[in-house]
Amino acid sequence: MERPAGAGHIVGMATRPARLRLMLLIIALVPVTVWWIERAVDAPENGWFEGTTTFGVASDFSVFYTSGKLVASGDIGALYDVDRFQAAFLEHGLGERSDNSALGNPPVLALAVAPLTVLSVERAWYVWTALGLVLMAASLRVFGAPRPIALSLLALLTLPVYFAITFGQMSLFVLAAFALVYKELRSGRVFGAGLAASLLILKPTMLVGFLLWWAIDARHRRALAGLALGSAAIVAASLPFVGSAWLAWPQGVVDFARVNTSHMAQWGQFAPFRFFGILLPGWGAVTAVLGAAAVIGGLLVFRRLAKLHRRDVHVLFALAVLLNLWCSPQVLTYSWTLLLAVGVVLWSQHPELRAPVAVAGAALGIAAPTSVLLVTELLDSTGWALQLAVPALALSTWFVLWLPARRGIADALVGARPV
């Protein structure tokens, strides 16, 4: 059958947004691909744990490992004593003493890592990483990814996952906890969602989004009861092993924050609350007020969007994850691993949002390394910097969850249909 005149032109027009999205995705994956290649070139001579063309791996995991060693040896009092901890870090960890070689997490994390300390720190990192990768694939399947293993491999080429693995952070374990929360919410088990969220007591800054959502939404307040019960059970179970350390932990958090909020430590800080601190150094109270205003503004946007989607638990969950990344006081580059949850849930549950999700995902993939490199260079040369990641997250949220509800530019750019 002969095609109508002009049909080829129409098909070409229809495929242009898809080509644009593919091009953006490729651009987003290039920087981390290059860094993996550099690491592969460097590894035969220097191994994974030392680097010349790039940094050695497991710097953050070394802190966790050291804390586990202290628990295993019964030296609980050293967990939040900076000098004693750093002495132990030099003995058990990888690398030299630094400001970051201190523990800011609750002592239950040290208890959880303690079993790995029967291995050397290098072998423990391999086990930690392998378990994290398995949990990432399992989490993506829970979120609804049709090919979780393939997506996991693709995620390795994003900066948040790259940093999570090379630093030895716990982001992939946090992602798994979020997957458990989502599974319970999707099944209507609100109390169970709170119990699942109690696992995040290992990294309490990742609880902020759920706490705010469940406090605002009366339909989900039973989750707060589950969270309280689960957290209490975890603390109680840990008391025979690290009981005294719980008393020292609050001061340990203060000491850790004092070190890690220094001006030059902000190169990988993606928290909106910290955005103005590096943009306007030396302005003190003014930047704190501006940061608080940004957080409050994000909370108001969440409430508005939550009302628009109040019957859709999938969108509400995605909004809570975004709220966590917006309102938490500590959001580092690897924390953006949680955006995998947002993207996959919206992609699987709302096919009409796939185009804007793809565009936003590629844009954030470009923004993350660009922001880190730009901030590092500007802080070294000028003492101030514009953190591109924060406005990129705001614009992406607007583009995916607000703009598709209105006709116009969304249709023109990506062919999105209104929700």
Percent of the chain with pLDDT over 90: 61
* pLDDT above 50 (res 408): no
Q: What is the pLDDT of residues 121-166, one digit of tens each?
A: 999 999 999 999 999 999 999 999 999 999 999 999 999 999 999 9
Q: In terms of residues, how long is the chain?
A: 419
* pLDDT above 50 (res 386): yes
Answer yes or no: is 154 within a domain.
Answer: no
In which band, very low, low, confident or very high, does the pLDDT at 407 lie, cut at 50, 70 and 90? very low
Stated pTM of the model = 0.90
* pLDDT at res. 261: 57
Percent of the chain with pLDDT over 70: 87
Report the number of distinct structural domains present in the chain: 1
Answer yes or no: is 136 within a domain.
Answer: no
Long-range contacts of 193-197 (CB under 8 A, 24+ apart): 193/220, 193/223, 193/226, 194/222, 194/223, 194/224, 194/225, 194/226, 194/227, 194/228, 194/229, 194/230, 195/226, 195/227, 195/229, 195/230, 196/226, 196/230, 197/223, 197/226, 197/227, 197/230
Q: What is the pLDDT of residues 51-72, one digit of tens each?
A: 655 677 888 899 999 999 999 9
Answer yes or no: is 109 within a domain.
Answer: no
* pLDDT at res. 38: 85
Please list, in sequence order, all residues whose beta carbon lies within 8 angstroms of the beta carbon of residue 189, skipping any fewer than 6 positions away. Answer: none
* pLDDT at res. 87: 87
* pLDDT at res. 255: 79
Answer yes or no: is 29 within a domain.
Answer: yes
* pLDDT at res. 22: 82
Domain that holds residue 395: 1-45+261-419
Answer yes or no: is 250 within a domain.
Answer: no
In which band, very low, low, confident or very high, does the pLDDT at 8 lie, cut at 50, 70 and 90? very low
Question: Which tokens is 63 given?
Answer: 């802190």
Please list, in sequence order, all residues whose beta carbon lies within 8 angstroms of the beta carbon of residue 402, skipping any fewer than 6 positions away. Answer: 305
CB burial readout 368-405, b (16+ within 10 A) else e: bbbbbebbeebbeeeeebebbbbebbbebbebbbebbe
Cα–Cα nearest to 242, from 346, 108, 130, 73: 108
In which band, very low, low, confident or very high, does the pLDDT at 234 lie, cut at 50, 70 and 90? very high
Mean pLDDT over all residues of the chain?
87
Answer yes or no: is 382 within a domain.
Answer: yes
Amino acid at 302: F
* pLDDT at res. 98: 52
Please list, in sequence order, all residues whose beta carbon lies within 8 angstroms of the beta carbon of residue 216, skipping any fewer than 6 positions away. Answer: 302, 303, 306
Q: What is the pLDDT of residues 87-105, one digit of tens each?
A: 898 888 776 545 557 888 9
* pLDDT above 90 (res 299): yes
Answer yes or no: is 168 within a domain.
Answer: no
Q: How far is 369 from 18, CA to CA, in rounded Å?
A: 23
Amino acid at 368: A
* pLDDT at res. 277: 86
Residue with tokens 């804390």: 67
Q: Would you say 405 and 304 are in contact if contact means Cβ atoms under 8 Å apart?
A: no
Phi, psi at 332, each rounded to 5°? -105, 170
Higher pLDDT, 417 or 208: 208
Four-residue CA torsion sign, 316, 321, 323, 324 = positive
* pLDDT at res. 181: 98
Answer yes or no: is 159 within a domain.
Answer: no
* pLDDT at res. 59: 85
Cα distances (angstroms) measured from residue 4 to each of 1, 7, 16, 27, 188: 9, 6, 20, 36, 50
